[in-house]
């Protein structure tokens, strides 16, 4: 199936999200779609899947113009979209989720779950998805959940699959498996649109690349001849540096110290097992590890979101083991949360309100019991300019920003404040190359101002590029520590420790 977009335009109030775009999607081909945050990628794909109606222009399927009026129309025409934030029902099984809304029914209209299961199995087999049909969604890792989403659109017999930043939440291993699936789909003659901010991924998997800038297609290219720097320049309009320039760390006093911190989950299993670590002022410490080895819990322990079972946490010489979140915040701890949507922002709050979400009570924003709103608006505008958060106004709801711009909003809020310790969890998730460069610079700037910086990331490149020291977590424990002054840590050794097969050089 071939799909053509002709002259599509979409406006949101004053914002022109898509401006007369033309795009061709062909069967048996992977089209990589790149573009800065807010360039209009998601908007374009939402029009293609029928979720948004274009203001101008038309969509042609195999040469015939079609008109989509609602979300169901896209998939009915064979175009399926997998959104970055999954839309699955956690308490239902895989098979139930897949057939939801298009349930195969028996004679009297009852749900024929056996038939549903069988159909799910068939697709599973055909595209080698390896999804367990009877498991509950909530028990599956993200990578598998994503495949359920893919299964869902295949079940509705989609010939065109739109994948909006599918790899942002995957571990490197899951990315490999995911690429395998994309390959199978392609061979089966499906057309695939793949959106990502990871340039090496587009180069690896796409057959063609289109670049979107400020709502327009500004470049097309052949992945065989292009390099990452070409792509970055096409997207941002200037050369982008992939390595962060930084001098050596000048570590000072101990900012954060964990002694034998242990945390239990609701089944009393250890999710953190006697973790001890230090972060000194003026250094960046990275925590590497395959997702799900206790990094999330480590951050929760440090920031006070979860209670620890035993052990002690000191922040700049003060025992904060049992201190509240607010107290830690007041003492100068910044926290970039790993999942901006879940906890980092309030969708319906304006950009301005989100910019002071955890700082609204501070004296500089207060007038007695009230909030000094003009001051907040001014600050928010300043942060938006500083971090290049693309929004027409600070009064727009945060949820209306593009994914990457939401992330920049959260990062701006945390890094602009006067702090002593920065806890950054997946700080650049969903952010474009240009902004990654800037966020990295700012993290290093925080270090050079004397903050302790702790970075938790599933991107090993990010950890290797920024950290002065690296801890590796495996199964709730710190299994190795590496000195990375001048980037001297051995990437392979770090990788091995992450796999848990090597108890690294204890420092």
Ligand X SMILES: Nc1ncnc2c1ncn2[C@@H]1O[C@H](COP(=O)(O)OP(=O)(O)OP(=O)(O)O)[C@@H](O)[C@H]1O
Q: Would you put residue 62 in left (φ > 0), alpha (ψ -120 to 50) or beta?
A: left
- Interaction residues for other proteins, span 231-290 (CB under 8 A): none
The stretch among 12-20, 342-350, 365-373, 462-470 that binds ligand X (CB under 6 A) is 12-20
* Residues binding Mg ion: number (CB under 5 A): 3
Q: Which of 105, 343, 485, 501 binds other proteins (CB under 8 A)?
A: 343
Task: List the structure tokens of 19.
Answer: 């401006």
Give the one residue of 19, 23, 32, 41 binding ligand X; rule: CB under 6 A: 41
465 contacts Mg ion (rule: CB under 5 A):
no
Ordered strands of the 191-195 beta sheet: 79-82, 160-164, 191-195, 30-35, 208-213, 216-221
Binding other proteins (rule: CB under 8 A), the pick from 165, 283, 432, 451 is 165
What is the rounded CA–CA span in Å between residue 335 and residue 426? 11
Which stretch in 31-39, 310-318, 331-339, 455-463 sits in contact with ligand X by CB under 6 A?
31-39
Tokens 């065989």 appear where? 224
C-beta of 251: minimal distance to ligand X in Å? 35
> What would the x/- binding string for Mg ion be over residues 22 to 51, using CB under 5 A?
--------------------x---------
Q: Cβ closer to other proteins: 325 or 499?
A: 325
Q: Give residues 392-431 in contact with other proteins (rule: CB under 8 A).
A: 392-396, 399-400, 402-404, 430
Using the structure block, give the residue that is written with the tokens 């230090």.
278
In terms of CB distance, is 128 or 324 closer to other proteins? 324
User: Shortest approach of other proteins to residue 123 CB, angstroms?
Assistant: 22
Question: Tokens for 65?
Answer: 């113009």
Q: Residue 368 Cβ, how far from other proteins at the closest point, in Å?
A: 9
Between strands 30-35 and 191-195, the pairing is parallel
In the complex, the smallest distance separating the C-beta of residue 45 from Mg ion, rounded to whole angstroms, is: 8
State both tokens at 83: 């959104």
CB of 172 to other proteins, least distance (A): 19
213 is an interface residue for ligand X by CB under 6 A: no
- The set of residues, in sequence order, having a beta carbon less than 8 Å from that of 158 and lying 6+ positions away, is 75, 78, 79, 80, 190
**By CB under 6 A, is residue 390 in contact with ligand X?**
yes
State yes or no: residue 449 binds other proteins (CB under 8 A): no
Per-residue three-class SS string for 112-151: CHHHHHHHHHHHHHHHCCCCCCCCEHHHCCHHHHHHHHHH
Q: Which of 280, 284, 325 is nearest to 301 (CA)?
A: 325
By CB under 8 A, is residue 318 in contact with other proteins? no
- Which option in other proteins, ligand X, Mg ion, none does residue 405 bind, with CB closer than 5 to 8 A by kind? ligand X
Pattern 37-76, other proteins, x by CB under 8 A: ----xx---x----xxx-----------------------
CB neighbour class for 272 (10 Å; exposed up to 12, middle 13-18, buried from 19)? buried
Which CB, 332 or 397, lies closer to ligand X? 397
Query: Mask 42-81, x = binds ligand X (CB under 6 A)?
Result: xx--------------------------------------
Which residue lies nearer to ligand X by CB, 429 or 477? 429
Residues 133 and 124: their CA atoms lie apart, in Å, by 9
Query: In whole angstroms, what is the distance from residue 480 CA to residue 506 CA?
Result: 6
Q: What's the closest the beta carbon of residue 489 comes to Mg ion, in angstroms?
A: 33
- Label residue 148 left, alpha or beta by phi (over 0 means left) and psi (-120 to 50 means alpha): alpha
| Residue 407 lies near Mg ion (rule: CB under 5 A) | no
Residue 470 interacts with which of Mg ion, other proteins, ligand X, none, CB < 5 to 8 Å by class: none
Q: Which residue is it, tokens 């101002």?
A: 449
Residue by residue, DSSP assigns 248-276 as -----SEEEEEEEEEEE-TTS-EEEEEEE
Stretch that binds ligand X, among 329-337, 381-389, 399-407, 481-489 (CB under 6 A): 399-407
Round to whole Å and give the CA distance between 492 and 487.
Answer: 13
Strands 216-221 and 208-213: antiparallel
Residue 408 to residues 292, 381, 432, Cα–Cα distance (Å) = 24, 13, 10
Question: Residue 269 — left, alpha, or beta (φ > 0 → left; ψ -120 to 50 → alpha)?
Answer: beta
Report what 40 binds from other proteins, Mg ion, ligand X, none; CB cut-off 5-8 Å by kind: ligand X
Count of other CB atoms within 10 angstroms of residue 138: 11
1, 2, 6, 15: residue in contact with ligand X (rule CB under 6 A): 15
Q: How far apart are CA 58 and CA 3, in angstroms?
A: 11
First vs last C-alpha separation in the chain: 58
The stretch near other proteins (CB under 8 A) out of 89-97, 251-259, 336-344, 486-494 is: 336-344
384-388 CB contacts, 8 Å cutoff, 24+ apart: 384/351, 384/355, 384/409, 384/412, 386/412, 386/416, 387/411, 387/412, 387/416, 387/435, 387/438, 387/439, 388/434, 388/435, 388/438
Distance CA 144, CA 140 (A): 6
408 binds ligand X (CB under 6 A): no
By CB under 6 A, residue 457 contacts ligand X:
no
Q: Footprint of other proteins on this chain (CB under 8 A)? A: 12-14, 41-42, 46, 51-53, 83-87, 164-165, 168, 195, 305, 324-329, 335, 337, 342-349, 353, 357-358, 360-361, 366, 369-371, 373, 377-378, 380-382, 384-385, 388, 391-396, 399-400, 402-404, 430, 434, 437-438, 441
Q: Footprint of ligand X on this chain (CB under 6 A)? A: 12, 15, 17, 35, 37-43, 390-391, 400-405
Q: Footprint of Mg ion on this chain (CB under 5 A)? A: 42, 402-403
């Amino acid at each position: 199936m071939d799909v053509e977009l002709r002259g599509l335009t979409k406006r949101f109030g004053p914002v022109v999200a898509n401006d007369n775009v033309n795009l061709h999607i062909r069967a048996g081909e992977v089209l990589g779609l790149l573009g800065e945050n807010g360039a209009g990628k998601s908007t374009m794909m939402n029009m293609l899947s029928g979720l948004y109606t274009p203001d101008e222009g038309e969509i042609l399927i195999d040469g015939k113009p079609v008109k989509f009026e609602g979300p169901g129309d896209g998939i009915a025409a064979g175009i399926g979209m997998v959104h970055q934030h999954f839309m699955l029902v956690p308490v239902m099984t895989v098979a139930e989720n897949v057939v939801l809304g298009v349930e195969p029914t028996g004679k009297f209209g009852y749900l024929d779950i056996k038939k549903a299961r069988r159909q799910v199995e068939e697709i599973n087999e055909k595209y080698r998805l390896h999804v367990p049909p009877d498991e509950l969604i909530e028990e599956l890792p993200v990578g598998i959940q994503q495949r359920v989403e893919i299964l869902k659109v295949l079940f509705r017999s989609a010939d065109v699959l739109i994948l909006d930043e599918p790899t942002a939440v995957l571990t490197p291993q899951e990315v490999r498996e995911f690429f395998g699936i994309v390959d199978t789909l392609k061979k089966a003659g499906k057309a695939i649109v793949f959106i990502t901010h990871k340039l090496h991924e587009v180069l690896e998997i796409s057959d063609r690349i289109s670049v979107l800038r400020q709502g327009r297609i500004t470049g097309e290219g052949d992945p065989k001849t292009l390099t990452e720097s070409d792509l970055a320049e096409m997207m941002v309009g200037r050369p982008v540096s992939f390595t962060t320039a930084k001098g050596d760390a000048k570590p000072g006093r101990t900012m954060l110290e964990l002694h034998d911190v242990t945390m239990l989950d609701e089944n009393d299993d250890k999710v953190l097992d006697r973790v001890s670590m230090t972060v000194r002022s003026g250094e960046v410490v990275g925590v590497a590890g395959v997702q799900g080895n206790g990094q999330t819990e480590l951050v929760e322990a440090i920031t006070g979101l979860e209670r620890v079972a035993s052990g002690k946490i000191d922040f700049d010489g003060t025992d904060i083991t049992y201190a509240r979140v607010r107290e830690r915040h007041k003492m100068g701890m910044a926290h970039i949360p790993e999942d901006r949507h879940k906890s980092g922002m309030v969708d319906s709050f304006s950009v301005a309100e989100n910019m002071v979400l955890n700082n609204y009570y501070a004296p500089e924003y207060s007038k007695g019991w009230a909030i000094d709103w003009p001051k907040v608006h001014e600050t928010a505008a300043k942060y938006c300019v500083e971090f290049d958060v693309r929004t027409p106004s600070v009064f727009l709801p945060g949820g209306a920003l593009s994914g990457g711009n939401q992330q920049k909003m959260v990062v701006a809020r945390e890094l602009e404040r006067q702090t002593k310790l920065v806890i950054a969890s997946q700080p650049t998730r969903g952010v474009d190359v240009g902004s990654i460069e800037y966020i990295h610079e700012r993290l290093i700037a925080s270090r050079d101002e004397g903050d302790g910086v702790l970075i938790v990331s599933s991107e090993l490149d990010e950890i290797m590029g920024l950290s002065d020291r690296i801890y590796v977590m495996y199964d709730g424990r710190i299994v190795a520590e590496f000195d990375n002054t001048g980037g001297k840590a051995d990437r392979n050794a770090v990788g091995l420790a992450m796999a848990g097969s090597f108890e690294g050089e204890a420092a």
